[in-house]
C-alpha cells in the first residue's frame, strides 16, 4: 500500500487519488498551515507516542448532519432542566487537556500528546479551533473541541466528569452549528455512541464531495470563522439560551 511521505511544505496527496487506504501520509509537522491544509482535504493527524505523525482519511467516514440530530427523550429533559451552564471558547486549553487526561485515567491511552495540545492551542489562538465548555458552578465538567472551516466542523474529542455532560456538549454543539448554517459535524470514526444521535457513515468520496461544498458555500453571519466565536464567549450562558 503506497503511503506518501510529506515534504517540508504543507502538501498532501488527494485521498481520492492516492491509492492508499485510510492512512494517506506520514511525517511532516503540526504547524498551523499544514493542519489547516490537511483538514481542507479531509485529512487529520492521529498517532501515538514514539510514532511519526500519521495522517488519516477514513473510508467510510462518520458524519452528523445537524438536521438529522436525534436527541433521546431523557437527554432532552435534562437539557430543559438546565443542570449545566455553557460557554464557547472560554477555556480551550482546559478542554483539550481534560480530554487527554480523561482518556489516560481510563487506561485507554491518548493520541492527544503534549505537542498535539500545543498545536491545537495555536489553531485556537488563530481562530480555527474552538471549544464548547459545560460548567457546574466553577467546575468544568464536560466539553468538546474541534476545527471549523467555512461550513464544516471537524470534531476532535470530548470529555465528561459528570454523567451525560459530554452528551449535552455534543447536542449543544450540533444545535449551534445548525444555527450557524454548518453542513455537518465530522465525527471521523464510527462509534455506537454517536450513531444513537443520528450520525451516519458515508464513503470517503461522498464525504470529500460534501466537504468541497461546505468549503465553497456562502458564509453566513454570525460565523465560526477565525475570531468570530470570541464575540459570543464573554459570559457563561444556559445551554438553553
CATH of the domain at 33: 3.30.70.3550
Distance, in Å, from the CA atom of 85 to the CA atom of 81, rounded to the nearest integer, reads 11
Assess whether 133 and 40 both reside in one domain. no
Residue 52 confidence (pLDDT) above 50 = yes
Assess whether 30 and 93 both reside in one domain. no
Q: pTM of this prediction?
A: 0.88
3-state secondary structure of 181: coil
Region label for 227, one of left (φ > 0), alpha (ψ between -120 and 50) or beta (otherwise): left
Overall average pLDDT of the 66-82 stretch? 92
Assess whether 218 and 142 both reside in one domain. yes
Assess whether 42 and 137 both reside in one domain. no
Residue 44 CA neighbour count, 13 Å, CB half = 20
| End residue of a domain, out of 57, 81, 99 | 57
Assess whether 34 and 94 both reside in one domain. no
The candidate with the shortest Cα–Cα distance to 3, out of 61, 53, 62, is 53
Assess whether 182 and 203 both reside in one domain. yes
What is the share, in percent, of the chain residues with pLDDT greater than 90?
73
- The pLDDT, as a whole number, for residue 90 is 95
- The pLDDT, as a whole number, for residue 7 is 64
Assess whether 215 and 113 both reside in one domain. yes
Assess whether 227 and 160 both reside in one domain. yes
- The pLDDT, as a whole number, for residue 207 is 98
* Number of structural domains found in the chain: 2
Residue range 173-198, pLDDT digits in tens: 999 999 999 999 999 999 988 999 99
Assess whether 210 and 227 both reside in one domain. yes
CATH number at residue 214: 3.40.630.70
Overall average pLDDT of the 209-232 stretch? 64
How buried is residue 49: exposed, middle or buried, by Cβ count under 10 Å (0-12/13-18/19+)?
Answer: exposed
Domain region containing 205: 62-238
Assess whether 36 and 120 both reside in one domain. no
- The pLDDT, as a whole number, for residue 218 is 63
Overall average pLDDT of the 27-54 stretch? 96
Lowest mean pLDDT among 4-13, 107-116, 206-215: 4-13
Overall average pLDDT of the 206-229 stretch? 72
Assess whether 47 and 69 both reside in one domain. no
Residue 221 confidence (pLDDT) above 50 = no
| End residue of a domain, out of 42, 57, 72 | 57
3-state secondary structure of 156: strand
- The pLDDT, as a whole number, for residue 232 is 39
Assess whether 67 and 52 both reside in one domain. no
Q: How far is CA 80 from CA 18, 76, 197, 232, in A?
A: 47, 6, 17, 21
Residue 21 confidence (pLDDT) above 90 = no
| End residue of a domain, out of 57, 73, 98 | 57
Amino acid at each position: 500500500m503506497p503511503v506518501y511521505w510529506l515534504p517540508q511544505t504543507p502538501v498532501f496527496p488527494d485521498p481520492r487519488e492516492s491509492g492508499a487506504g485510510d492512512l494517506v501520509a506520514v511525517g511532516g509537522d503540526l504547524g498551523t498551515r499544514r493542519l489547516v491544509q490537511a483538514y481542507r482535504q479531509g485529512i487529520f493527524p492521529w498517532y501515538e507516542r514514539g510514532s511519526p505523525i500519521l495522517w488519516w482519511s477514513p473510508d467510510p467516514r462518520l458524519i452528523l448532519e445537524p438536521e438529522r440530530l436525534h436527541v433521546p427523550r431523557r437527554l432532552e429533559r435534562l437539557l430543559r432542566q438546565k443542570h449545566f451552564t455553557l460557554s464557547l471558547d472560554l477555556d480551550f486549553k482546559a478542554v483539550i487537556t481534560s480530554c487527554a487526561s480523561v482518556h489516560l485515567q481510563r487506561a485507554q491511552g491518548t493520541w492527544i500528546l503534549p505537542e498535539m495540545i500545543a498545536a491545537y492551542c495555536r489553531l485556537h489562538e488563530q481562530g480555527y479551533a474552538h471549544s464548547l465548555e459545560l460548567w457546574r458552578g466553577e467546575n468544568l465538567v464536560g466539553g468538546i473541541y474541534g476545527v471549523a472551516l467555512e461550513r464544516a466542523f471537524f470534531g476532535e474529542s470530548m470529555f465528561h466528569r459528570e454523567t451525560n455532560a459530554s452528551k449535552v456538549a455534543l447536542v449543544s454543539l450540533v444545535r449551534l452549528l445548525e444555527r450557524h448554517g454548518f453542513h455537518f459535524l465530522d465525527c471521523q470514526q464510527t462509534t455506537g455512541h454517536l450513531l444513537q444521535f443520528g450520525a451516519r457513515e458515508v464513503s470517503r468520496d461522498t464525504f470529500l464531495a460534501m466537504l468541497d461544498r461546505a468549503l465553497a458555500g456562502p458564509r453566513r453571519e454570525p460565523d465560526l470563522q477565525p475570531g468570530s466565536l470570541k464575540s459570543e464567549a464573554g459570559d457563561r450562558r444556559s445551554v438553553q439560551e
